[in-house]
Amino acid sequence: MLRSFIPTAPDSHFPIQNLPYGAYQTEYGDIHLCSAIGDFVIDLFVLDEEGLFDGPLLKDQFVFQDSSLNYFLSLGQAAWTEARETLQALLHKDNPRLRDDDLLHSRVFKGREEVEMVLPCDIGDYTDFYSSEQHARNVGSMFRDPENALMPNWKYLPVGYHGRSSSIVLSGTELHRPKGQILPDNSESPVFKASERIDFELEMGFITGTGNKLGERIPVNEAESHIFGLALLNDWSARDIQKWEYKPLGPFLAKNWATSISPWIVTLDALKPFRVEAPEQSPAPLEYLAQTNPTTFDIQLEVYLKTSKMNEPERICTTNYRHLYWTIAQQLAHHTVNGCNMRPGDLCGSGTISGNEKGTFGSLLELAWNGTDPIRLHSGESRSFLEDGDELILTGSAQGDGYRIGFGEVKGKILPAIS
Ligand code: MN
């Protein structure tokens, strides 16, 4: 097994097999791109400045001297693989170049807990899909009809909506409860007030690498080579605002007040050992969505809630990314089939990831079944939706043989509405 001179515990999210991408603020206030290993971030700016990315595609490209990943993302799969291989070689336990150079070592490795992470790329556009069958069935049962829970289009196309990138925030950002139009029960006209039904959505998002030109499309069997990696995503949702506003054009202000993402993008290269067959699709997808070998990833996901009365967060959901019905390749092929152009650094959310039983549902709406069955917490409290002071933490990892590829976490706290 590949090992680094930087020690990592077997349950660390960041062994040498992972090497995700992020960005942090240096002590001088600059933004440097970075990776992670064990308890450290790896300053990629410093490694690049030293000329250590010396492979054929990245030599003299200065890609890691930018303050965002976008240019690197535009270079494509071969450049991403070259960067990964260069980093793995530099970090290898038998390579003295970085290991034995004390000065360089101290410039490159910074304590992961001590640095402030920032968004690693300029996210130009954000789209959110709705690709978990169980989630779509649950919501359809609650809001429409359990007999016809799925809309007729659902098994023919990956349903999605355009979100808003300006309000994508990094893990740790605290958010004020939004206000909006809400229709009270048994009323025909809405009132303006603070949402009383703040929810989370457990999702993962993919970041696009190379895009496509306007008018062209990305074929489904080539789509994965346009995808750089995955991050954890919480699509915060105000269910009472959503319920009143969503017909006929879909989510708007219920969703665009905030979307939180984890600071690390885990590459598809790192996730390769965790490929699993995607769920069987019936009816067969139309030809432009028919993947030759549809695969997805075995990533265990968890949600924790910490109310202001708790000392430790309590787990309220465990599920797995592999439950998603539509694959990322199908999502991207569908997104571009009309000639819509994707650009490097675009973000596509998976949709809420729910398994097929109660403890595996990826939102409070489902866990507490629209407020009819509140979840009971060890603190003696119960929850149907999030209260002020509640902190929510999403985490996930893929378990290898003796190592773990982790995504870190995405957390966020709900503050009272601004009066
Ligand atoms: Mn969503």
pLDDT in tens, 188-241: 999 999 999 999 999 999 999 999 999 999 999 999 999 999 999 999 999 999
What letter represents residue 112's amino acid? Answer: R
Between strands 174-176 and 404-415, the pairing is parallel
Instruction: Share the mean pLDDT of the chain.
Output: 97
The DSSP bridge pattern shows strands 202-208 and 116-118 to be unpaired
Give which of 321, 265, 332 is closest to 296, Cα–Cα: 321
Task: Using pLDDT thresholds of 50, 70 and 90, give the confidence band for residue 419.
Answer: confident
pLDDT at 249 over 90: yes
d(CA 209, CA 342): 9
Residues 110 and 131 in one domain: no
Distance 154 CA to ligand 1 centre (A): 15
Predicted model pTM: 0.97
Cα-Cα-Cα-Cα dihedral sign, residues 56, 59, 61, 64: positive
Task: Assess contact for 258 and 283: CB atoms under 8 A.
Answer: no
Residue 23, pLDDT score: 98
> Which residues, in sequence order, are CB contacts of 166 under 8 Å at separation 6+?
none
At position 289, the amino acid (one-letter code) is L
Q: Is residue 398 part of a domain?
A: yes
Domain assignment present for 4: no
Give 254 Cα–ligand 1 centroid separation in angstroms: 11
pLDDT of residue 367: 98
pLDDT (0 to 100) of residue 143: 85
Domain presence at residue 29: yes
| Residue whose entry in the numeric block shows the structure tokens 């990831």 | 353
Owner of token pair 């967060």: 313
Write out pLDDT tens, residues 282-339. Answer: 999 999 999 999 999 999 999 999 999 999 999 999 999 999 999 999 999 999 999 9
Question: What distance in angstroms lies between residue 181's CA and the mean position of ligand 1's atoms?
Answer: 20
Mean pLDDT, range 278-282, rounded to an integer: 96
Question: Cα–chain-centroid distance for residue 383?
Answer: 25
pLDDT at 183: 98
Does residue 97 sit in the same domain as residue 196? no
* Ligand 1 centroid – CA 404 distance (Å): 27
**Band of residue 39 on the pLDDT scale cut at 50, 70, 90:** very high
Q: Give yes or no: residues 149 and 69 share one domain.
A: no
Residue 375 above 90 pLDDT? yes
- For residue 81, what pLDDT is reported? 98
- List, as one string, the DSSP characters of 111-124: ETTTSEEE-SS---
- Condensed to tens digits (0 to 9), the pLDDT of residues 388-411 reads 999 999 999 999 999 999 999 999
Alpha carbon distance 198, 220 (integer Å): 36
For residue 45, the CA-to-ligand 1 centroid distance in Å is: 34
Mean pLDDT, to the nearest integer, of 98-108? 98
Check residue 144 and give its pLDDT: 85
Q: Are residues 141 and 100 in the same domain?
A: no
Among 89, 118, 147, residue at a domain's last position? 118
- Given a cut of 90, whether residue 102 has pLDDT beyond it is yes
The pLDDT value given to residue 358:
87
CA–centroid distance, 187 to ligand 1, in Å, is 28
> For residue 76, what pLDDT is reported?
98
**Do 131 and 100 lie in a common domain?**
no
Q: Find the 351 Cα to ligand 1 centroid distance in Å.
A: 4
Residue 357 and residue 355: Cα distance in Å, rounded? 6
Q: Is residue 135 part of a domain?
A: yes
Distance between CA atoms of residues 147 and 227, nearest Å: 37
Q: Percentage of residues in the chain with pLDDT exceeding 70?
A: 100
d(CA 39, ligand 1 centre) in Å: 31
Domain at 139, CATH number: 3.90.850.10
Rounded average pLDDT over 19-37 = 97
Residues near 63 by beta carbon (within 8 Å), at least 6 away in sequence: 48, 53, 71, 72, 75, 79, 83
Catalytic residue positions?
135
Task: Let me know whether 164 and 295 are in one domain.
Answer: yes
Q: Distance between CA 234 and CA 282 in Å, rounded?
A: 29
Q: How many structural domains is the chain composed of?
A: 2
Alpha carbon of 10 to ligand 1 centroid (Å): 32
Question: What is the span of the domain harbouring residue 106?
Answer: 21-118
323 Rama class: left (phi>0) / alpha (psi -120 to 50) / beta: alpha
Section 158-167 average pLDDT: 97
**What is the structure's pLDDT at 356?**
92
Residue predicted with more confidence, 3 or 145: 3
Residues 35 and 170 in one domain: no
Helix (H, G, I), strand (E, B) or coil at 107: helix
Same domain as 358, residue 231: yes
Write the CATH number for 98. 2.30.30.230
Cα(162) to centroid(ligand 1), Å: 11
Quick one: tokens of 105? 């070592």
Whole-number Å distance, alpha carbon 201 to ligand 1 midpoint, is 6
Based on the domain organization, do 147 and 243 belong to the same domain? Answer: yes
Quick check: 228 and 209 in contact, CB under 8 A?
yes
